[in-house]
């Protein structure tokens, strides 16, 4: 299966997926990586891994793609034959037309145990709230922000001496384990969405 990855930042989750593919654990082809940030490290990682990587200008808005840009993103992914879109730190909201182009075929990873601490810097929100446990969630995308059906979650204990940085680092260790696994379940046809629930078939 061909997958496409979208990201705005350092791309450590892309790297985890690349590593899973190269070690043979994840039988997919990463056909295209797109970023809305021209000098994002995720593009460099992709190119180093021999993967086609493109910057596509997101347009005039800060938190979403403008309609013309959205068209370009969808076209590029469709032309590359992408069947699953994997969001890996993509910092823009994906709107209806995009979702309709890839129905139940867009995944995201979020650094908290959803549905708590949606939105930005979820690890900081967890620390400030004082929870003992947080973690990460892989979910399908729907029209809300971090609200789609949950595929997998991993728990990370919060330490009393944690800073936002140390907590985020430990959450990322779990992300790098979880995301390739979730992508693998999808591409093996093992995920079935039933309403809000995602069933994992054996």
Distance spanning both ends of the chain, measured CA to CA: 19
Q: Name the catalytic one among 110, 139, 168, 176.
A: 110
- 110 is annotated as an active-site residue: yes
Sheet holding 84-87, edge to edge: 53-55, 29-35, 2-7, 84-87, 106-110, 133-140, 150-157, 197-200, 191-194
Where do the H-state alpha helices sit in 34-160? 41-48, 67-79, 96-101, 122-129
- What residues contact residue 74 under an 8 Å CB cut-off, 6+ apart? 97, 98, 101
Nearer to ligand GRF, 107 or 198 (CB): 107
Report the residue from 4, 49, 58, 111 that binds ligand GRF according to the rule CB under 6 A.
111
Decide: is 49 part of the binding site for ligand GRF (CB under 6 A): no
Q: How buried is residue 164: exposed, middle or buried, by Cβ count under 10 Å (0-12/13-18/19+)? A: middle
- Which residue's Cβ lies closest to ligand GRF? 89
Report the residue from 45, 92, 105, 110 that binds ligand GRF according to the rule CB under 6 A.
110
What mask of x and - would describe binding to ligand GRF in positions 152 to 181, judged by CB under 6 A? --------------------x--x------
Q: How many residues sit in the footprint of ligand GRF (CB under 6 A)?
A: 14
Catalytic residues: 110
Binding site for ligand GRF (CB under 6 A): 7, 9-13, 88-89, 109-111, 136, 172, 175
């Amino acid at each position: 299966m061909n997958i496409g990855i979208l990201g705005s930042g350092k791309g450590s989750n892309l790297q985890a997926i690349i590593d899973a593919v190269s070690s043979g654990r994840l039988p997919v082809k990463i056909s295209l990586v797109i970023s809305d940030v021209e000098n994002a490290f995720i593009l460099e990682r992709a190119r180093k891994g021999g993967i086609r990587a493109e910057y596509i200008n997101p347009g005039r808005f800060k938190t979403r793609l403008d309609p013309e840009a959205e068209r370009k993103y969808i076209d590029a992914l469709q032309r590359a034959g992408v069947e699953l879109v994997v969001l890996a730190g993509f910092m823009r909201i994906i709107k209806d037309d995009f979702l309709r182009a890839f129905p139940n075929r867009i995944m995201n990873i979020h650094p908290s145990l959803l549905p708590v601490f949606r939105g930005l810097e979820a690890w900081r929100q967890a620390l400030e709230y004082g929870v003992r446990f947080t973690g990460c969630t892989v979910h399908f995308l729907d029209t809300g922000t971090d609200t789609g059906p949950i595929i997998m979650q991993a728990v990370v204990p919060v330490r009393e001496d944690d800073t936002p940085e140390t907590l985020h680092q430990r959450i990322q260790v779990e992300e790098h384990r979880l995301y390739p696994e979730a992508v693998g379940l999808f591409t093996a046809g093992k995920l079935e969405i039933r309403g809000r629930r995602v069933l994992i078939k054996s």
